[in-house]
Chain A
Amino acid sequence: MRLGACGREKEVAEMLARGHWPEAASGELRIHVEGCRGCRDLVLVKQAFRADRTAMAGRARLEPPGVLWWRAQLRRRNAALAQIGKPILGAQIFSVAMTLAAAIFYLAWQAKRGYGWLAWLQQFPRALHLEALLPDALSKYPSETWLVFSGLAMLAVMSGVIAYMASEKH
């Protein structure tokens, strides 16, 4: 198979690209194209594709450029936020790890001393006379009730924080 066999293909291609074919072509070149398979194919294919390009371009239903601009801005901003969020997430993980380590260290230290701090915690509501605020029905419960209440309050606060963080991510 001979590739690019015809030396006049370039000349024909240039005329086609400028839109000069066939009006500006010499009679001799036209006769050559009639007899040369490569040049004839080139003219046929080039004209077909150019005509089809014009027809197809007219059929395009384009989105307004402003919408694409806005979407690209949004995508870029989200990517930037995700990039910024990475060190913040790392700092959060680090702080949680440090807090846990400190809590474990403190518990271990207290365990060695015999949990004396629990007695102090039990005395804490009495020291503040908080039982005076409770209704009579609740006053019969032991002071450990405060531990349950504070635990529930902590759970409620944590649930709120988690729900807020989850909704913020969305």
Chain B
Amino acid sequence: MAAALDASRTVFAEGPHSTPGHAQHLMPTVVGEVDHAKNGFNPTEILTDFDPGLVSKLPNGQTLHEYTVIAQDTVIEVVPGLKFAAWTYNGRFPGPTIRVRQGDRVRIKFFNASDHEHSVHFHGIHPGNMDGVFDAASGVVQPGAKYTYEFDAEPFGVHLYHCHTTPLAKHISKGRYGGFIIDPKEGRPRADREFVMVMSGYDVDFDGKNDFYMVNGIPFHYDHDKNPIRIKVGELVRIYLVNVLEFDPVNSFHLHANFFHYYPTGTSLTPNEFTDTIALMQGQRGILEFRYKYPVRYMFHAHKTEFAELGWTGVFQVEA
């Protein structure tokens, strides 16, 4: 930057006061809203668009879920006016939320439509040639090529998938990741509302540090004056929370004026914690369940508060 705030050019002056009274405490946020239609995805829809894929039955009676996943180079408006050269799965941030049941067959037809080699590496239990790490035989795909990953879904829980080609930090931070939910064979107890939240960040100047933080792709999207998440008093809310944040060692989730039951990795039907704040390193994930006792609006955000003021914040609008 070629300029600095020079004390000799700094003037302290009286009013006018532009603080908008006491009606609304001013909070960090962006000015305006991104063009969701142009981006090709909307974080409000991503919350609930669990994707079962194309479902059919195999001759042995096993349920088959088929997906087509395309690695694309996509320009995304991450905050109003600022565009980011992202690497996405199916053009969205995060990629499709793959949701199946334990023991189902998962078939991912992966096409690499970008200029670099890419892969899909699933967290879960599967054969080595479906791991997407070392070479073409294990699912690393050259530009213009394709590969089919196929495995039985296990164990049940909330997982993730991401590109595993090098340089890994760049591939992940530029956007190649998504949520992967495996429900227990008999399903989970019914919840009134289910949401997926994938926590990540944007390094828009490529200096290895995040400039913005968010859940589901767009900083500040679920903010109180933008697109708060609407729920009702007493509803059982279940959140599938995944942390993919690159560069920063720890991310977190804090729920205001409430406590939640926490299921680490979602691999047990019994919660192991009742809290209002959890910390997750990259790749960690879990399931949160809670009900709101009182109406009005409540924040949820990273309790690394710097992240919150750079975009990882949102609001539950709780209706009576």
- Does B bind A? no
Chain A interface residues toward B at CB < 8 A: none
